[in-house]
Chains A and B, each alone.
Chain A
Amino acid sequence: MLEIAREYWLQILIGNFPHGPLGGVALTLVIAVAGLLLAFPTGLVLALGLTSPWRSVSRVTTGFVFYMRSVPLLMHLLWIHYLVLPLLVGHGLSGLTSVLVTLIIFNGAYLSQSIRAGMLALPKGQYEAARAMGFGHLVSIRHVVGPQALRNVTPSIVGQLVILIKETSLGSLIGLAETTQQFLDLNDRLGNKSLEVFTLLALTFFVMCYPLTLAGRWLERRYARPHKPAAAPAPKPALMTVLQKEKA
């Protein structure tokens, strides 16, 4: 197993990079980070839809999120790769685009539910007070409910990154040259070394994800404790700054 690692470490890390597209661990990490960064705004928009005072908007969003969560990621990937994207742009796109788009929408739907939960966990008075002060729905969310709700969600972001790294492995279904695909190629090339190859694959993912898992736990512990007492005075400055802005 060590020999395989010593021999092929460059291919595992970056694929055929200088001579071809980026692959391997680097591609996995790039897709996971980019996916998370773009899934977050998607989740915010969907969370706004879920909590919208307009019945029709909240119903449609709820249905969409339920659909995303009820169907496996693989199925979404196939729909998007073979139907949705080709219909939208007129021709088939690379596996990279399909995987990225799928991960963004899929994780956006999951994030939207935790953001919504963070919003609902706040005392109702926060929103009502903001409305009573004369702020509109969106302004109240933007300046009063949102900042507090996002604080609750922040520590789970690292955990979400781990999930994305793991989900990227599905890209090998449509030929994306990410980590799993590199090891599948390696397995074909080396013939009868499957046990070593796939043990090394599992270890590669462990090395990527375990430090992040530990970091996520540390963040959660750090954020969880001081949060409760801090929650009560927090809205005050937010409201005050908004008021001062309105005056100016």
Chain B
Amino acid sequence: MNLFPTLSGISDLWAQYGSSLLDGLCMTLQIAAIAIVGSLVAGVIVAFARLSTFKPVRAIAAGYADFVRCVPLLVHAMFWYFGATELLPDAAKDWLYDRDAGMILGSVALIIYSAAFVSEDLRSGIRSVSAGQTEAARALGFSQFNTFRLVVLPQAVRAVIPSLIGQAMTITKNTSITLMIGVVEIINAARRVQDTTFRIVEPYAFATLSYLIICSVLTLLAMRYERWARGGANA
């Protein structure tokens, strides 16, 4: 069998398996969207916990971030999918398996894993705003809350957006891990086509191109933002 794709071969494959590949792409995008939003929310909470003035809160948040980052995402996914489900009551298990358990638990693992990285970015963004800014605002009579809201936060957001776009890229790529717990995302969809047709290049190329396009869009977005932010600072 010829390894390299032909035009007619591609169109035949597409007619037969195109929709399942597109379903896989949708699944990837869905998990990515859930995980990006979820880890942003969780990351904000962890970041504030790590900047807290109350020591036990700070220690717990730091311990969480350290532990999570020392364990591979794949292990997180396996833990939630194979391990943690044992603890659930039967009703919750039924609810989960009526839906796509792999997708739900994979998203949970992805959120817990990514939140540790997002919180680190957010924390360094907040700390990149110089202490003089806070001191000046406090000296001018701003309350602590207003100092944060009106002075620190706008500068921190500006500093942190490029790295958050980078995290969005990483999360999107990391959704591929869910294939190991049976989720039919884009790479798994491509593998299924490979298993039934013994074609390698076409399905893999589809998955690879999808990722390239997603990442190019996000990279362009980050570049646009950086140019805009720099222009804004000059004006």
Interface residues, chain A, CB within 8 Å of chain B? Answer: 66-67, 69-75, 78-79, 82-83, 87, 162, 165-167, 169-170, 172-173, 180, 183-184, 187, 192, 194-199, 201-202, 205-206, 208-210, 213
Contacts and interface: CB of A to CB of B under 8 A. Distances in A.
B136 interface: no
A209 to B, nearest CB: 4
The 6 closest A-B pairs by CB, nearest first: A70-B215, A198-B83, A209-B70, A166-B72, A72-B176, A72-B173
A213 B120 CA distance: 14
A180 B82 contact: no
B70 A83 contact: no
Given A72-B174, A72-B211, A198-B82, 5 more contacts: A70-B173, A79-B204, A194-B82, A194-B85, A197-B82
Interface of B: 3, 66-67, 69-76, 78-79, 82-87, 169, 173-174, 176-177, 179-180, 187, 191, 194, 200-201, 204, 207-208, 211-212, 214-216, 219
Given A70-B216, A72-B174, A79 B70 contact: no
A79 B208 contact: yes
A213 B216 CA distance: 31
B211 A172 contact: no
A83 B72 contact: no
Contact of A74 (B3, B176, B214): B176
A71 B208 contact: yes
Contacts of B215: 69-71
A169 B73 CA distance: 9
A57 B210 CA distance: 26
6 contacts: A72-B187, A73-B173, A75-B208, A180-B75, A194-B85, A202-B79
Contacts of A87: 3
Contacts of B75: 169, 180, 198, 201-202, 205
A195 B83 contact: yes
Contacts of B74: 169-170, 172, 180
A195 B176 contact: no
Nearest to B216: A70
A192 B87 CA distance: 12
A163 B104 CA distance: 26
Contacts of B71: 166, 202, 205-206, 209
Most chain A CB within a 10 A radius of its CB, from B85, B187, B219: B187
Contacts, number: 110
Contacts of A197: 82-83
Contacts of A194: 82-83, 85-86
Contacts of A202: 71, 75-76, 79
A170 B204 CA distance: 18
A89 B84 CA distance: 43
B176 A82 contact: no
A213 B211 contact: no
B131 to A, nearest CB: 19
B176 A75 contact: yes
Contacts of A199: 79, 83
B177 A74 contact: yes
B24 to A, nearest CB: 12
Contact of A205 (B66, B72, B201): B72
A107 to B, nearest CB: 15
A70 B208 CA distance: 9
Contacts of A213: 66, 69-70
Contacts of A71: 173, 208, 211-212, 215
Nearest to B84: A195
Contacts of B72: 165-167, 169, 180, 205
Most chain A CB within a 10 A radius of its CB, from B3, B78, B84, B191: B78
Most chain A CB within a 10 A radius of its CB, from B70, B76, B201, B216: B70
B78 A70 contact: no
Contact of A187 (B82, B84, B212): B82
